[in-house]
Amino acid sequence: MRLNFQGTEVRSILIACTGLLLVACSAGAAEKIKVYRVPKEPVTPTVSEIHSDAGDDHAGHDHSGHDHGPPAQPKVTFTKPEGWLEGGRDEMRVVSFSITGPNGQTAQVTVTPLPGLAGRESLIVNMWRQQFGLSELTEDAAAKELIAVEIGGAPGKMFDIAGKSADGSAIRIVTAMKHVGEMSWFYKLQGDNELVVAQITNFVEFLKSVRIEAAILPDGDPSVAGGTMLGTVTSQPPPAVREGGPTWTAPSSWKEIAGGQFLYAKFIISGEGESEAVVNVSTSAGDGGGLSANVNRWLGQLGQAPWSKDEILNKVKEVATTGGHAMIVEMSGTDVRTGGSTSIVGAIVNNSGSTWFYKLMGDSDLVAAQKEAFTTFLIEVNY
Amino acid sequence: MLKRIYKLLTSVRLAVVLLALGLILVFLGTIAQVKLGLYQAQSEFFRSWLIYWQPSESSLSIPIFPGGYLVGGLLLINLFAAHLRYYRPGFKRIGIAMIHLGVVLLLGGQFATDMLSTESFMRIREGSSSNYSESNSLWELALIDTSDAEEDKVVAIPTSLLSGGKELSNPELPFKVQPVKFYLNSTLSAKNEGEGYELVKAENTELTEIWWRRLPKVTQMNFRDIPSSLIKLIGPEGDSRTILVSGHFSRPQTITVDGKELQFEVRPTRYYKSFSLHLIDFRFDRYAGTNTPKNFSSRVRLARTDNNEDREVTIRMNEPLRYSGETFFQADWDKTDEKGTVLQVVDNPGWLTPYFACVLVSLGMIWQFMSHLIGFATKREKA
């Protein structure tokens, strides 16, 4: 065949190549910055706020990845015992671990929410017993199998069943459960009998550390300016143990709540009506950025312009506390999130190479009413 | 030279080789999913020009096999060019043209799907509404100006741009953004957890220590990367401040620039809609006496202000809502209390092309078969 490159063939090739080139260019096109306007979001929490990533390390554990599917699984935080290897999730299990014993024995830990099982403990015990071919227990007898255990700072129940697997080896299942609304949360340690027995202490500690909740921002001081979300108190109980650091007796009207991993302590104070204030306690090595930077940061949280060094020195008061001199500063403005009149009483204490930050922030009237209690609290903190 | 290229591009041999390579590619890509997971395998094998191999402990990437784009693109060119080289118009050859056009449409449609389709998830709690969906794999740094009472102005920077280290600017931003360090997948901790952890030195981490660590890119389907980045905000006067942004923070933080507050957060890339969906009721029906799912459904109210549309729709498994070019599938639910739904939102402008392509190929084959059959029958009758 004689080729005529002036003809349609050349045009067709050029068209095809150009088309492909366009596709290639669009495939390689980089993502671009977008600018758009959206109506303000309502304050109502959405599932997305749960941020089911489970990827943060609030309790100090290390994730090798972050779940996104199922996208709306609740966020579970915990302290992972040594030697437990975190496994994957699936539709049923929101957390799982595998444990290997010194002689190659294996055990698994799973956390599974199931609906509609609250108040049906005897059924649950008997379901597990059936797995081992054990006889069914009466409701009273099943209730006697249950022992109290702390799960995430709240009471739960636990039972223990030992038996033989299909291949005749000794296995054991330790199951803990806690009912939250319509959901029952099951924590199961199962595997080789010897290994399970050895891991029960770790399992109980793990149960104590578990928190099921919306993800918590490192709120309060760590944000560039602000981040304290008034009115978004979680139902998480206060941290039970604080190792090291100062101790105190807080005023009875202050309710301690979990402050997230970045706060040493957090208290919420309820005033008249819906007025609220919070007290954040945080710490940093060294001087924590210095007086000026921190005072101006607090000012930024109230939408106020920064103060000069002279202004700051004029407005800061020194108060003697048990841990050394505290520099206290007061400021007022508007919290952009609430739109309400908001005040801050902030205090900075340098103690043994660390800097401690205390911040009372909230409704201006309530802050004014709590200022004296805050100062007394500050003075009496034991380092 | 040109003749050789022309001959090569129009040869049937090339078509056979490309089809064989396509078969091998599909096989290799399918096997690779075991190790890489679905999305990574798709990206490396099918949404790529070349497949690379990286020797262990080396940063060198060696191309070892053509990727999906190269095989598909060459096949497209081959089809076009061969068709125009060999095709001669005629009543009997219409079938061939239709088959070729169908295959071209299939390949082109798949390119279009790859380039233009998006998949995201809309999460809604009962009693609340949402007007956006979120990506499961892409993240953006959103800088939000909340000063307007009605609307927020959002500048959304894809986090992929932060990975390049290139200075970013936008007329809507009062500063330039210079990425300092970017981790595609990361973990944060309040303490030094050991090897790989670095102390974050940023303005918003001065008051409390935050340690971070790079994590390997996750490939499992149920997991996703959570990026963190240190970015330097450079003002017009050259003044700068370095802050930590991270997908681990579940609420926006605030920064004050020239007396103006901006919220910022790293969040899954959002796709805003011109309408909102309000979740009236989510139902998770089970077979009586079991925990086996029977049906998931979301009763939503679709509200649109520009045309006053307001109607109720029930989205069930296999009964998606198709609206405004998007399809909303019932995908998941809030497992905490079953009071929230997760809808998968698929926007695929090319979704009809496979149907058209199949119809064209089928009609072409019928035409071709019938023309031969009729021709054969006529000849036989004459004989």
pLDDT mean for each 10 residues of chain A (383 residues): 49 57 55 87 39 31 36 65 73 75 84 74 79 78 85 84 78 85 80 88 88 42 26 29 68 75 75 83 71 80 80 87 86 70 88 82 90 90 83
Cα torsion A221, A227, A229, A234: sign: negative
Supply the pLDDT for residue A355: 79
CB contact under 8 A, A62 and B225: no
pLDDT tens, position by position, B299-313? 999 999 888 899 999
Mean pLDDT of all residues belonging to chain A: 71
pLDDT tens, position by position, B248-268? 876 688 887 777 778 889 999
Supply the pLDDT for residue B88: 78
CB contact under 8 A, B81 and A73: no
CB contact under 8 A, A9 and B6: yes
Distance in Å, alpha carbon of A194 to nearest chain B alpha carbon: 30
Higher pLDDT among residues B87 and B276, named by residue: B276
| Statement: residue B325 has pLDDT above 50 | yes
Q: Does B291 touch chain A (CB under 8 A)?
A: yes
Distance in Å, alpha carbon of B119 to nearest chain A alpha carbon: 13
**Which residues, 6 or more positions from B43, have their beta carbon under 8 angstroms from its beta carbon?**
none
Higher pLDDT among residues B141 and B225, named by residue: B141
B108 pLDDT band, cuts 50/70/90, is: confident
Select from B131, B177, B207, B220 the residue whose CB has the most chain A CBs within 10 Å, as the one to mutate to test that interface.
B207
Chain A's closest residue to B249, CA to CA, is A217
Q: Tell me the chain A residues in contact with residue B155 when contact means C-beta distances shorter than 8 Å.
A: 33-35
For A98, list phi and psi in degrees, rounded to 5.
-125, 145
Q: Does B141 touch chain A (CB under 8 A)?
A: no
CA-wise closest residue to B193 among A182, A60, A262: A60
| Statement: residue B345 has pLDDT above 90 | yes
| Statement: residue B358 has pLDDT above 90 | yes
CA-wise closest residue to A297 among B203, B235, B209, B143: B203
Q: What type of residue is B109?
A: G
DSSP 8-state assignment for residue B112: H
Rounded CA separation B6/B82 (Å): 9
DSSP 8-state assignment for residue B42: I
Q: Give the dihedral of Cα atoms A309, A310, A312, A313; nearest 10 deg.
A: 110
Distance in Å, alpha carbon of A67 to nearest chain B alpha carbon: 4
Rounded CA separation A147/B182 (Å): 48
| Statement: residue B99 has pLDDT above 60 | yes
Query: What stretches of chain A show up as alpha helix (H) in DSSP?
Result: 8-28, 47-50, 121-131, 139-145, 193-209, 291-301, 309-315, 364-380
| Statement: residue B349 has pLDDT above 80 | yes
B136 pLDDT band, cuts 50/70/90, is: confident
Q: Does B118 touch chain A (CB under 8 A)?
A: no
pLDDT tens, position by position, A230-277? 222 222 333 334 555 688 888 888 887 765 545 677 888 888 877 888
| Statement: residue B101 has pLDDT above 80 | yes
Report how far apart the first and last C-alpha atoms of chain B are (Å, whole number). 49
Q: For residue B200, how many C-alpha atoms fall within 13 Å in the half-sphere facing its CB?
A: 33
Supply the pLDDT for residue B133: 94
CB contact under 8 A, A182 and B338: yes
Q: Give the dihedral of Cα atoms A225, B246, B209, A97; nearest 10 deg.
A: 140
Q: Are B323 and B300 in contact (CB under 8 A)?
A: no
Rounded CA separation A296/A307 (Å): 6
B367 pLDDT band, cuts 50/70/90, is: very high
| Statement: residue B28 has pLDDT above 60 | yes
Q: What type of residue is B9?
A: L
Percent of chain B residues topping a pLDDT of 70 = 96
DSSP 8-state assignment for residue A290: -
User: What's the mean pLDDT in B332-360?
Assistant: 87
Beta bridge partners of B133: B271
Chain B's closest residue to A89, CA to CA, is B222
E runs forming strands in A141-275: 147-151, 154-164, 170-180, 183-192, 211-213, 254-257, 265-270
Q: Does B371 touch chain A (CB under 8 A)?
A: no
Q: Which helix (H) or strand (E) holds B266?
A: strand B260-286
Q: Are A214 and A45 in contact (CB under 8 A)?
A: yes
Mean pLDDT of all residues belonging to chain B: 86
Supply the pLDDT for residue A23: 57
Q: Does B381 touch chain A (CB under 8 A)?
A: no
Supply the pLDDT for residue A341: 80
Q: What number is the ipTM of this complex?
A: 0.75
What are the Cα distances from residue B282, in Å, to A162, A179, B338? Answer: 40, 21, 7
Tell whether omega for the bond before A70 is within 30 degrees of 0, i.e. cis: yes
Supply the pLDDT for residue A50: 29
Q: Does B58 touch chain A (CB under 8 A)?
A: no
Beta bridge partners of A351: A354
Rounded CA separation A26/A38 (Å): 28
User: What's the mean pLDDT in B162-181?
Assistant: 91
Supply the pLDDT for residue A22: 58
Supply the pLDDT for residue B228: 92
Rounded CA separation B80/B294 (Å): 49
The radius of gyration of chain A's CA atoms, rounded to the nearest angstrom, is: 29
Q: Are B137 and B218 in contact (CB under 8 A)?
A: no
Percent of chain B residues topping a pLDDT of 90 = 37
Q: Are B154 and A37 in contact (CB under 8 A)?
A: yes
pLDDT tens, position by position, B270-304? 999 999 999 999 998 887 767 677 888 999 999 99
Supply the pLDDT for residue A239: 36
Q: For the packed helices B12-36 and B68-86, what is the interaxial angle rounded to 10 degrees? A: 160
Supply the pLDDT for residue A16: 59
Rounded CA separation A82/B123 (Å): 35
User: What's the mean pLDDT in B214-224?
Assistant: 74
Task: Dig out the tokens for A261 from the structure.
Answer: 């991993």
What are the Cα distances from residue A19, in Å, to A12, B80, B112, B287, B356? Answer: 10, 11, 12, 53, 20
Which span out of A262-271, B3-12, B348-357 was modeled with the highest average pLDDT? Answer: B348-357
Q: For the packed helices B2-10 and B68-86, what is the interaxial angle rounded to 10 degrees? A: 100
